[in-house]
Structure 1
Amino acid sequence: MKLANALGLWIELRFALQAALVPTLKDVWINPAIISHLSRTFMAHVWLAFASQVDVNARTVKRELFLPNATGVVLDIGAGLGHGIQYLDHSKVTKYVAVEPNTRMHSELRRAAENAGYLESDGTLVILGCGAEEVTTILESLDSTIPAIDTITSVMSMCSIPSAQEALRGLICHVLKPGGQLLFYEHVLSPRQDVAWWQRFWAPLWQVFYDGCRLDCPTDSWIDEITDVDDRGERVSVWSERKLWGVPGETEETVFHHVLGRFVKRGGVY
């Protein structure tokens, strides 16, 4: 891997500091208690500054992934400021459940959802301040004790979930309906060993500034390997369909190695 590519993360971090450091310090000055979740506050300011451009850069791949596939009740992991809502077909998506633990983003998220026609007042919008790992809380919000979600979506959010491998298994096994879909666009651990080395090198620093985001999560492998017990008591893959692909034109020499995926949960697996 070229050294310039490996060290390019410094540029990303510099831009983030320029945009978010002063606003974060102001927040701490006004409310010193914020220091207990400083990374989350910093990340909120970073995302307010850069989310729109990040969305534009990936607009084509997200439109092709989500627009034709997302249906029914959609659970959006790490909904952020609500940019993902524009890639949902309102005629096919009946309810939007946004999981966003960073509550500083909720007002913009709510505005984006309402502009798309999803409202808390009529039950078509649910905004949760919990994490994706809090399966019980998610099910309680849906008044359900069995899988109640038709489609789970995620855009560069799984990297920040605490104990992500276990959390993803919980979501798929206990929240996603049999026959339901998981649609995701994520940055994951690179298959190239030299790139993966740099991802692991940068990961501890990166997660401090970006609210737990890890550059070295093999999320695609974790998803592919999820199993559960079927109605015969046998351990089987939860998936009946699996498809993974990369971003066209993306260089292999990037610490942000992106993959897209569409996985369908097999019937009869809870």
Structure 2
Amino acid sequence: MGIYSDVILPKLCDLSMRNVRLHPYRKRVVGAAEGRVLETGSGSGLNLPFYRRDVREILALEPDPALLAMARRVPHTEIPVNFMEASAEAIPLDDNSIDTVVTTWTLCTIPGAAAALTEMRRVLRPQGKLLFVEHGLSPDRGVRWWQDRLTPIWGRISGGCHLNRPIRSIIENGGFRIDRIETGYMQGPKPMTFMYEGSARPE
């Protein structure tokens, strides 16, 4: 793997979801949530401090009980938070019951991303919104080449994360209309850092 084994792999810890370079993304995306919010793949609760008072309730959905236990200990605002041990591929909520779905660096990992997006659309109210920031497939051929080759290894050491998912088309094929999307590399190795940030509404 040459330079990628010598440079990229030692820097994997720098791409941790705790990375402070991700805070601006969290602040913009999570800060735009309102009403009754479903956060899919809420993990250890890193987004909780970024919610604003426009949110009246947070439903934190996470299939890993160890991560949920960590999330329960995270200091956050006084917004009520209900922690749900469940998968985004089978969300245990009623149809049209959510104002905002938040997904941050989650669609890369969910085994059935298409099924998860179908579920997100089901639980969203007709005028609800999906807020997202994800990393995924780069438009640059050379970077895509590395993403395709690194993904099998990366997935084994990062909980099933895919570097090469085409996030925009996955969201659109899941029944959403993109309202806003911004893409580009954040600081770091390019195969891991091409970001998609934006919002979408149910078709």
Deviation at 1:184, TM superposition (A): 0.8
Hey, what does 1:189 align to over in structure 2? Answer: 137
Say yes or no: does 1:156 pair with 2:93: no
The residue type paired with residue 11 of structure 1 is P
Deviation at 1:221, TM superposition (A): 1.4
Q: Note the alpha carbon deviations across 1:8-55, whole angstroms, 9 max, x for none.
A: 431134x59xxxxxxxxxxxxxxxxxxxxxxxxxxxxxx9xx543x1x
Give the direction of change, closer, same or farther, for the CA distance of 1:250–1:211 in structure 2 (3 Å limit). closer
Deviation at 1:200, TM superposition (A): 0.9
TM-score when scaled to structure 2?
0.87
Flag the structure with larger Rg: 1
Q: Note the alpha carbon deviations across 1:49-91, whole angstroms, 9 max, x for none.
A: x543x1x212123212331x200111111111211112211x2
The residue type paired with residue 201 of structure 2 is V
Deviation at 1:7, TM superposition (A): 6.0
Give the direction of change, closer, same or farther, for the CA distance of 1:175–1:57 in structure 2 (3 Å limit). same
Q: Once superposed, what is the RMSD of the aligned Cα atoms?
A: 2.5
Say yes or no: does 1:255 pair with 2:203: no
Partner-residue secondary structure (3-state), 1:75: strand
Tell me the matched-pair count. 201
| Larger helix fraction of residues | 1
Give the direction of change, closer, same or farther, for the CA distance of 1:245–1:209 in structure 2 (3 Å limit). same
Tell me the distance in 2 between the aligned counterparts of 1:94 and 1:104: 26
Hey, what does 1:9 align to over in structure 2? Answer: 8
Give the direction of change, closer, same or farther, for the CA distance of 1:84–1:197 in structure 2 (3 Å limit). same
Partner-residue secondary structure (3-state), 2:138: coil
Partner-residue secondary structure (3-state), 1:177: strand
* 1:49-198 to 2 correspondences below 5 Å: 50-52=16-18, 54=19, 56-67=20-31, 69-89=32-52, 91-112=53-74, 115-118=76-79, 124-135=80-91, 138-139=92-93, 144=94, 146-172=95-121, 174-198=122-146
Tell me the distance in 2 between the aligned counterparts of 1:192 and 1:115: 39
* 1:19-38 to 2 correspondences below 5 Å: none
| Larger strand fraction of residues | 2
Partner-residue secondary structure (3-state), 2:108: helix
1:6–1:255 contact (8 Å) kept in structure 2? no
Tell me the distance in 2 between the aligned counterparts of 1:102 and 1:59: 23
Partner-residue secondary structure (3-state), 1:222: helix
Gaps of 5+ in 1: 17-46, 119-123, 228-237
Q: Note the alpha carbon deviations across 1:198-245, whole angstroms, 9 max, x for none.
A: 111011111111111111111221102333xxxxxxxxxx43x52110
TM-score when scaled to structure 1?
0.67
Hey, what does 1:244 align to over in structure 2? Answer: 181
Hey, what does 2:160 align to over in structure 1? Answer: 212
2:109–2:161 contact (8 Å) kept in structure 1? yes
Give the direction of change, closer, same or farther, for the CA distance of 1:6–1:170 in structure 2 (3 Å limit). farther
Gaps of 5+ in 2: none
1:188–1:220 contact (8 Å) kept in structure 2? no
Give the direction of change, closer, same or farther, for the CA distance of 1:66–1:213 in structure 2 (3 Å limit). same
Partner-residue secondary structure (3-state), 1:111: coil
Deviation at 1:252, TM superposition (A): 9.9
Deviation at 1:132, TM superposition (A): 0.9
